[in-house]
Chains A and B, each alone.
Chain A
Amino acid sequence: MSASKAAPGTAPAAARRSRRISPASLARWETLLVLLLVALIIAGTRLSKVFLTGNNFANLTSSVMEVAIMALPMTLIIITGDIDLSVESMVGLAGAVLGTLMVAGLPLPVAIPIVLVVGALGGLLNGLLVTRGGLPALVVTLGTLALFRGLANVILGPTVISVWPDWFTEFGFGTIAKSPIPYTLVAFAILVVVFWLVTHGTWLGRQVFAIGKSKAAARYSGVPVASLRTWLFVVSGAVAALAGIILAARFSSARNDNGTGMTLTVVTVVLLGGVDINGGKGSIPGVVLAVFVLAVLQNVLRLAGVSSEYQGIGVGLLLILSVIVPQLARQTRVVADRARRGRRPPAGPVTQGETTALS
């Protein structure tokens, strides 16, 4: 897997960190994901001969690549305690802008950077409203979820742009020289390396975790909390625009509803990857594992004949379960402690979840 190639030097550092952050639980979580992945692969192999073919691998990976790349900045945003719900609409807006620019006669190599800048600007709007405006990220990005989608509607209307240069669509669903490796997987792998290094190997990553654990203490320690959070939204916007470009290439179409419903899957992957919805905890390798768990799960369901309309139920359940399970583990630990010491604990040790719903 691409993830394992990334920076051998930083892996132990990451492992050390996770042990310290939550006593062994994160490591166990990642093991759990590996086991889950293996189980799914076995199930897939039993289910169909097609499963282990290179063609199927290319299919199953390229079908989640948009979600996968958006999950990387989303991981950092959730670690800081924010959330970006607007990414799915940026996917649609990016496709709309790209298609419109192309139809207007702009060559794609010029149009693509413009679209990435549009994405970054959209993220900047989110970031500034959250950090300078002091508004909760949840509501701001709910607003831009509607706003960006609305802009895509305004730009495209009911038009579908479906004529694209061959090289562009080839990037969307082609593989490298007859190997089963899609181009988009390579793009994802490069982003994984960058995000892994930054998150677990640099002080920028350390500052991101510090913000997630205590915004006040981070600020008093000279961490540029506001600008770092803003930058994460900018990156998220730009990466969402990249995902929009990839989606347009893969379906060779730009429609105003491209990407609808994707935010749910992105957030699911991030939380399934062991990132704490309350901020402060998480790891890139966990999220990368979760990406593949989701990809294989969807593939297995498809091979089992479950229509994609019903798969929403599976994703929804997965999202809720990936938050319930660690929470349940935490609560049973508290109960066990209580039983061991034979008394009730001091008031309010497990109230984390309650207070952060909107902020």
Chain B
Amino acid sequence: MTPRLQLSGISKRFAATAALTDVSLELLPGEVHALVGENGAGKSTLVKTIAGVHQPDAGEIRLDGELITVPSPAAARALGIAVVHQEPRLFPDLSVAENIFLVAPPTDRLHTIAWKEMRRRAADLFEQLDVHMDVTAPVRGLSMADQQLIEIAKALSVEARVLILDEPTASLSAHEVERLFTIVRRTRERGVAVLFVSHRLDEVFALCDRATVFRDGRHVVTAPTAELTTASLVRHMVGREVSLFPKEASTVGEPLLEVRNLSDASGFRDVSFTVHAGEILGLAGLVGAGRTEIARVLFGIEPRTSGEVLLDGKPVNFRSPSEALGSGIAYVPEDRHQDGLVLDFSIAHNITLPVLPRLFPRLFLHARTEAEIAARFSDRLRVRTTGVDQAVSALSGGNQQKVVIAKWLAARPRVLILDEPTRGVDIGAKVEVHRIVSELAATGLAIIMISSDLPEVLAMSDRIIVLHEGRIAAEIARADASEERVMFAATGQHEAVVAGGAHGR
């Protein structure tokens, strides 16, 4: 059988880093092919190369046996390559229907846009997806999950020969994932080749016929999923057995931060918990469950609507991060590039930014003092660098994350909130971040760790709070915690039902 899409010998470099090295991949008509690998393995680069966003430095692409080049995303679409990108890229001011048909809108006799026809076709697409969506509403204000569904509808709106789904399920509910799978299977029956990029391995086994594993920009293995197991997949992905750094035993001390019946405008409601000195509290839950929103309220970025926060038993209400910082609360945000670092600044300037007013009460900077402080904290976290004068934009993801943590340590906080501290960080740096967090807890810091990485939450937390749709669904002690218990709570299922073996809602 002629492969629908055949990539051979594809290489791609960005400046000094090789993103893809001589990779080959075949997608057969009517198969769902999984592409798995760790962060940084080159999955997204490959997707973008097929989608015409990037041009390969070497190698060739064949579609149904014909040699093709994909100079632009528009060209990809013209060739019948439909892509659902990881992050929705929609037009907030335009309607849902127009977002789907912007490039090739249905037209009437005068070659002008036929709005009614467009809305009808958009509504049909969502009906296929079994999703209720007002296609005339503007996209602004819709949730991530809705936006993802619009991207999927967009991909389905063209007669695709190849359908690429780049981590499409990250923000979907269980029901929506199930609907998506049904659609994908139906698409497969029409002879479309589907490339499914995911790091949820259960989904890979549930949906895919074959799987390809990438590691460090290279092809490792391609095999039918029937011949693979979760364990073997993971082994191919990391190339070695993984042992996450388990939390060191530390004495849990006095209650430091108490949250009572806290609510905000839209993210979470009636949340109560306590964190003690020396304790790591894990906050688990699906994306959009309200975890980040809680952190943002605690750090004074967003206002709360009701409830109380007590620090050392005294009520506090921060109206800005600088106030929170002044009382000893630090927050390592989820989006390192956007919120965590000033990328153009040097390591030293990033580390001292939060503490400048305390470091130099007389307003004037002193370069040597600054460099010393920065060097102390960057050494303590073992940031690999040529010196604290180096721009953080030149560092790897893991080292950048260490700089973010160093920055907050310099502020000497008592409560440290970490939001997805190891996302996009390679495995070695991940273990180091875990070691650091564990050491920090041992020194008496109260740590709240938000993470979607279940093994990480289980390995690191003294206690786990699971959020579901803005409310606390479960509180699980370390000893009782298992991936299943956390996952069931996070998806809003009751354990009794689980015991009965029922799936879905």
Q: Are B14 and A220 in contact (CB under 8 A)?
A: no
Contact B343 A213 (CB under 8 A): yes
Nearest Cβ on chain B to A25's Cβ, whole angstroms: 13
Interface centre among A201, A217, A226 (most CB of B within 10 A): A217
What residue of chain B has the Cβ atom nearest to residue A198's Cβ? B363
Q: Is A223 touching B353 in the complex (CB atoms < 8 A)? A: yes
- The yes or no answer to A203 lying at the interface (CB within 8 A) is yes
Contact with B along A259-281 (1 / 0, CB 8 A): 00000000000000000000010
Give Cα A281 to B320, complex, Å: 26
| Bound-complex Cα distance A220 to B389 (A) | 22
Interface residues of A in 167-218 (CB under 8 A from B): 197, 201-204, 206-207, 209-210, 213-214, 216-218
Contact across chains for B391 and A221 when beta carbons are under 8 A apart: no
Interface-facing stretch out of A98-106, A153-161, A318-326, A342-350? A342-350
Known: A218-B342, A222-B325, A222-B354. A201 touches B53 (CB 8 A): no
> B55, B326, B357, B407: which contacts A344 (Cβ < 8 A)?
B55
Of the candidate stretches B104-112, B332-340, B372-380, the one touching chain A is B332-340
Nearest CB of A to B198, in Å: 24
Query: Does any Cβ of A come within 8 Å of B322's Cβ?
Result: yes
Question: Are B391 and A20 interface neighbours, CB within 8 A?
Answer: yes
- B339-354 vs A, CB cutoff 8 Å, 1 = contact: the mask equals 1111111100100011
Q: A202 near B363 (CB under 8 angstroms)?
A: yes
B70-117 interface (Cβ within 8 A of A): none
B338 and A203 contacting across the interface, CB-CB below 8 Å: no
Interface 0/1 of A14-56, CB less than 8 Å to B: 0010001100000000000000000000000000000000000
- Picked from A201, A217, A346, A347, the residue with its CB within 8 Å of the CB of B364 is A201
Is A13 engaged at the interface, CB distance under 8 Å to the other chain? yes
Q: Which residue of B lies closest to A9 (CB)?
A: B364
Whether the Cβ atoms of B354 and A343 lie closer than 8 Å is no
A210 in contact with B345 given A218-B353, A220-B331, A224-B320 (CB within 8 Å): yes
- Do A206 and B321 form a contact, CB below 8 Å, given A221-B407, A280-B344? no
User: Looking at the complex, which one of B301, B340, B346, B389 makes contact with A217 (CB distance below 8 Å)?
Assistant: B340
In the complex, which residues of chain A have a beta carbon less than 8 angstroms from the beta carbon of B189?
none
Closest Cβ of chain A: how far from B395's Cβ, in Å?
Answer: 15
- Whether a CB of chain B sits under 8 angstroms from the CB of A219 is yes
C-alpha gap A207/B346 in the complex (Å): 14
Q: Are A213 and B338 in contact, with the CB atoms below 8 A?
A: no
Q: Is the CB of A206 within 8 A of B301?
A: no
Instruction: Say whether, besides A220-B333, A222-B322, A203 and B356 are in contact (CB < 8 Å).
Output: yes
Inter-subunit contact A206/B365 (CB<8 Å): yes
Residue of A nearest to B333 (CB): A220
Q: State A213–B343 Cα separation when bound (angstroms).
A: 8
Q: Which residues of B contact A222 (CB under 8 A)?
A: 320-322, 324-326, 353-354, 411
CB distance from B405 to the nearest CB of A (A): 13
Determine the chain B residues whose CB is within 8 A of the CB of A218 once the complex forms: 342, 353
* With contact pairs A203-B356, A207-B356 given, residues A221 and B365 touching in the complex (Cβ less than 8 Å): no
Closest residue of chain B to A348 (Cβ to Cβ) is: B53
Contact at B338–A206, with CB atoms within 8 Å? no
| Chain A residue at minimal CB-CB distance from B323 | A222
What's the nearest-Cβ distance from chain B to residue A355, in Å? 14
- B339, A216: Cβ atoms under 8 Å? yes
Query: In the complex, how many residues of chain B place their beta carbon closer than 8 angstroms to a beta carbon of chain A?
Result: 39
Q: Are A210 and B364 in contact, with the CB atoms below 8 A?
A: no
| Chain B residues within an 8 Å CB radius of A216 | 338-339
User: Which residues of chain B have C-beta atoms less than 8 A from A206's C-beta?
Assistant: 349, 353, 356, 365
Contact between chains at B54 and A13 (CB < 8 Å):
no
A-side contacts of B57, CB under 8 Å:
343
The answer to the question of B367 belonging to the interface, with a C-beta cut-off of 8 Å to chain A, is yes
Chain B nearest Cβ from A352, distance in angstroms: 12
Chain A residues whose C-beta falls within 8 Å of the C-beta of B299 in the assembled complex = 220
Q: Are A217 and B339 in contact (CB under 8 A)?
A: yes
Other-chain residue from A21, A207, A219, A347 in contact with B53 (beta carbon distance below 8 A) = A347
- Contacts A203-B356, A346-B54 given: A219-B344 contact, CB under 8 Å? no
Query: Which of A21, A201, A203, A344 contacts B344, CB < 8 Å?
Result: A21
Contacts of A219 in B (CB 8 A): 301, 321, 339
A214 adjacent to B343 (CB under 8 Å) = yes
* Nearest-neighbor residue (CB-CB) of A203 within chain B: B356
Q: Is B360 an interface residue (CB 8 A)?
A: yes
Chain B residue nearest to A16 (CB atoms) is B367
What is the distance, in angstroms, from B47's C-beta to the closest C-beta of chain A? 13
Bound-state Cα–Cα, A210 to B348, Å: 13
Contact A220 to B322, CB < 8 A, known contacts A203-B357, A206-B365, A210-B353: no
Chain B contacts for A346, CB-based, 8 A: 14, 54
Greatest chain A CB density within 10 A among B320, B324, B360, B389 is at B320
* Contact present for B342 and A210 (CB under 8 Å): yes
> With a CB–CB cut-off of 8 A, which chain A residues contact B326?
222
B363's nearest neighbour on chain A, judged by CB, is A202
B448 to chain A, nearest CB (A): 16
Q: Are the C-beta atoms of A221 and B354 separated by less than 8 Å? A: yes
Contacts of A221 on B, CB cut-off 8 Å? 321, 342, 353-354, 407
B346 touching A204 by the CB < 8 A rule? no
A228 to chain B, nearest CB (A): 10
Chain B contacts with A in 186-218, Cβ cutoff 8 A: none
Within B401-439, the residues touching A (CB, 8 Å) are 407, 411
Given contact pairs A221-B407, A223-B322, A223-B353, A213 touches B344 in the complex (Cβ within 8 A): yes
Report how far A32 CA is from B356 CA in the complex, Å.
34
- Name 14 A/B residue pairs within 8 A (Cβ), A-sorted: A20-B346, A201-B365, A204-B363, A206-B365, A207-B356, A210-B345, A213-B343, A213-B345, A220-B331, A220-B340, A222-B321, A222-B354, A343-B55, A346-B54
Known contacts A13-B367, A218-B353; 8 additional CB pairs below 8 A are A16-B367, A197-B364, A203-B365, A209-B345, A213-B342, A219-B301, A222-B353, A222-B354
Top 3 nearest A-B pairs (CB, nearest first) are A203-B356, A222-B322, A222-B325
> Which A residues contact B (CB, under 8 angstroms)?
13, 16, 20-21, 197, 201-204, 206-207, 209-210, 213-214, 216-224, 226, 280, 343-344, 346-347
